[in-house]
Structure 1
Amino acid sequence: MIGKVIGAYMGDRLAKNTSTGIGGAGGAALGVIAAAALRRLSLPAMIALGAGGYLAKKLSEKNTGTGDAEPQTTKPAKAA
């Protein structure tokens, strides 16, 4: 019961911070569903899901250019 309430609260907060068009009630419903799904997953599946989300975030940042990485510069060739 407490897990559903916490999941609904977190889903509501996340839905308000994203630009996906999901309202607070939709986010709360997604939070409850996510909490129920996480309870049924095994530990290796949770780790794989977390690693996949991290890699997707890094790939998205790389494609949009909002990542922390600095652009690579090339050194000019030395004249002989």
Structure 2
Amino acid sequence: MIGKVIGAFVGDRLAKQTGGIGGASGAALGVVATTVLRRMSLPAMLALGVGGYVAKRVLDKREEGSDSASPPKTSTAPATKAA
């Protein structure tokens, strides 16, 4: 019972930081997440954690690459024509 209350509290806090999820639905997701995690095996939890880490790294790299369309210029001197 206490685990469900803590899960609802954490879910509510996360929902407030996320734009697409409301407070009550975040609390419900927190309760569901604690129930699912309690029934998962240790290898499944580790695989879920590693998968989430890898997905975040890939999304961060993709976002970083889209910010700069062209490489930064190293010189501000005008280009000269070769003879």
**TM bucket normalised to smaller:** 0.7 to 0.9
> 1:61 aligns to what?
60
| Cα offset, 1:38, TM superposition | 0.1
> 1:32 aligns to what?
31
Gaps of 5+ in 1: 67-80
| Cα offset, 1:19, TM superposition | 1.8
> 2:10 aligns to what?
10
> 2:79 aligns to what?
none
Give TM-score, length-normalised by structure 2: 0.76
> 1:48 aligns to what?
47
Q: Percent identity at matched positions?
A: 66
Amino acid at match of 1:15: A
Amino acid at match of 1:48: A
Give TM-score, length-normalised by structure 1: 0.78
Measured against aligned partners, the alpha-carbon deviations of 1:26-75 in whole angstroms (never above 9, x if no partner) come to 00000000000000000000000000000011011011118xxxxxxxxx
SS of match in other structure, 2:37 = helix
